[in-house]
Structure 1
Amino acid sequence: MTWVGVMWGVAHVRRGGLWLLDLVLPPRCPGCGAIVGTLNSFCPPCWTSLDFLGHSGCESCGIPLEAIDHGTCAGCLARPPRIARTRAAVAYGDIAGSLAIRLKYGRKIALAKAMARYMLPLVGELPADALLVPVPLNRRRIAVRGFNQSLLIAREIGRKRGVRVAPRIIRRIRPTPPLKGMSFTERQKTVAGAFALAAKADIAGRTIVLVDDVLTTGSTAEACAQTLLRGGAARVELLCWSRVVRNPIFVR
């Protein structure tokens, strides 16, 4: 048998194995667990309950806009953010939040692929030397959790788009308490000085796309962006699975 024949046989067996696996373990909705037709896709009820944000928001921060004549929100016009472009796949809600919580605390790491699938269309045009950089966790949290959920998502996006993932470019040099319940000013003070570039970080002139699971006020991402820009990055963007959009005041 020729080498081509052997490879065809291996591929045939593999396809058969995948078919059998799908028969025994059919794909399920990431939101509710119902059987669906395609891997990492949502069932109709979960799909309709998600608020997909897409590209329709502010050209800079991505927050949904209502009845204005230009593409930039008043906040970004008054104070241009360090992060040049922010995009999130969905608005934070019951199902979107459930995926993030189950990924982080339930160790359902396969959910990272589902999140990445819907984040992927929001990746803009990037230069060849662009880097995907997951928002870092402190070592203690990684030791307890066993992984950085943002890194899992970034790796899937990088694999699909052919963009290099650089998880060690920026690191969290001191632990910070959970930011939930803090005001914007308190969050800023908490994350100030919490990040630093790696000793040999090669980011001069590069576009950096930060990857995270949930965006609330954006204080952590802004602190990361400040560190990256000071280190020579030409542009910093932010890509998230979900974001809070019903905050009374969205502050970067």
Structure 2
Amino acid sequence: MRCQPHQKNQVYIWLKNKQFCLLCDETADGAAPICMACETDLPWLGDHCQTCALPLPSAGLTCGQCLKQPPAFERVIAPWLYSFPVDSLITRFKHNAKWPFGHLLGELLAQALQHRFEEDLPRPELLLPVPLATRRLRQRGFNQAAMLARWLGTRLDLPCDERSLSRVQDTGAQQTLKARERRNNLRDAFALTPGASFRGRRLALVDDVLTTGSTAQALARLLMNAGAARVDVYCLARTPKPGDAA
């Protein structure tokens, strides 16, 4: 396991009274290390598909893909578009072990989820991080989805299960593949560990970014086939449709 980085302003005490914004280094306004100006300027997701959170021109709509082929998951919750600076923060968290950036985004996601729970979103019984293949986990040293799930679980008082889902095939990177190639790439890639039981339970998958939704669909289908009552997806950011402006 890698240690947290030691560069200036990257390691901090999360519960100390005075925080500095991780984006601009100004004094933060609250407990989280981000100032109000930088938080406001984040690429917040506007109108989007009610199911998969794909950015859309109007509110209250469902995208054509979800109408044509309804996914196994019920709803995707993502606060931001995958664009600057959120894309950079996620990349540095995920690929450069800059954990404070991930913790900051996880804290803001937890706040967004708590607000949704108070409105209309059913509270899950269990958080399930998207698993990494063993080789990828060994190379990276940590699973960013598992770290997010732990932070969300602590903040929202929800249990987190990191053992019941496994990635049994190392399918390689998904980023360069098209939607159909991603779906084919993930066929039979995941499995439930022996003894895992989800019958009648409300579940939430946790990941960093949702692009085509192929990974979420594969896992949600696996869980629904195992008897889950509902599967939602919680992630930091949603990519726009290819060709659309971010």
Q: Same fold by TM-score, threshold 0.5 exceeded?
A: yes
CA-to-aligned-CA distance 1:24-67 (integer Å, 9 cap, x gap): xx52323344442334343355334322127x532211223324
2:55 to 54, 64, 67: 64
- Given that residues 197 and 226 in structure 2 are in contact (C-alpha distance below 8 angstroms), is that contact kept between their aligned partners in structure 1? no
Q: Is 1:47 equivalent to 2:39 in the alignment?
A: yes
Partner in structure 2 of residue 117 of structure 1: 107
Tell me the distance in 1 between the aligned counterparts of 2:107 and 2:26: 18
Residue 15 (structure 1) aligns with: none
Secondary structure of the 1:225 match is helix
Does 1:102 find its partner at 2:92? Answer: yes
Count of residue pairs brought into register by the alignment: 225
Is residue 29–residue 42 contact of structure 1 (8 Å, CA) maintained in 2? Answer: yes
Decide which of 198, 218, 221 is 1:226's aligned counterpart.
221
Q: Which of 140, 143, 151 is the aligned partner of 1:156?
A: 151
8 A contact 1:130–1:207 mirrored in 2: yes
Query: Which whole-Å CA distance do the structure 2 matches of 1:75 and 1:176 have between them?
Result: 24
User: Which residue of structure 1 lines up, in the alignment, with residue 74 of structure 2?
Assistant: 84
Equivalent residue number for residue 5 of structure 2: none
For 2:181, the equivalent position in structure 1 comes to 186
The one-letter amino acid of 2:44's match is F
TM-score by length of structure 2 reads: 0.82
The structure with more helix, counted as a fraction of residues: 1
- Counterpart residue identity of residue 193, structure 1: D
Work out the CA distance in 2 between the residues paired with 1:30 and 1:222.
34
Structure 1 residue 98 displacement after superposition:
1.3
| Structure 1 counterpart of 2:88, one-letter code | S
1:132 is matched by which residue type in structure 2? L
Which letter maps to 1:74? G
Q: Distance in 2 between matches of 1:34 and 1:181?
A: 37
Q: Percent identity?
A: 34
Name structure 2 gaps, 5 residues minimum: 1-12
CA RMSD of aligned residues (A): 2.4
CA distance in 2, matches of 1:62, 1:178: 23
Structure 1 residues 248 and 186, CA gap change in structure 2 (3 angstroms):
same
State the alpha-carbon separation in 2 of the partners of residues 229 and 132 from structure 1.
15
Q: How does 1:141-180 map to 2 (within 5 A)?
A: 141-180=136-175
Is the contact made by 1:30 and 1:99 (CA closer than 8 Å) also made in structure 2? no
Residues 54 and 241 in structure 2, CA contact (< 8 A), matched pair in contact too: no
Residue 190 of structure 2 is aligned to residue 200 of structure 1:
no
Paired with 2:95 and 2:58, the residues of 1 have a C-alpha distance of 39
Q: TM-score, normalised by structure 1?
A: 0.80
Residue identity opposite 1:73 in structure 2: C
CA distance in 1, matches of 2:87, 2:153: 23
Matching residue's letter, 2:166: R
Deviation at residue 237 of structure 1 after TM alignment? 0.7
CA distance in 2, matches of 1:234, 1:218: 20
Secondary structure of the 2:232 match is strand
Aligned-residue offset at 1:238: 0.4
Change (3 A) 1:186 1:75: closer
Q: What per-residue deviation string (whole Å, max 9, x for no partner) do you get for residues 75-117 of structure 1?
A: 3222211111011111011211111111112212222321122
Specify which of 215, 229, 234 is matched with residue 239 of structure 1: 234
Gapped regions of structure 1 (runs ≥ 5): 1-17
Is contact 1:176–1:194 with CA below 8 Å preserved after alignment?
yes
Which piece of structure 1 moves more, 113-122 or 196-205? 113-122
Give the conservation status (yes or no) of the 8 Å contact 1:28–1:39: no
- Return 93-102 or 115-124, whichever deviates more: 115-124
Shift of 1:224: 1.1
**1:165 partner SS:** coil
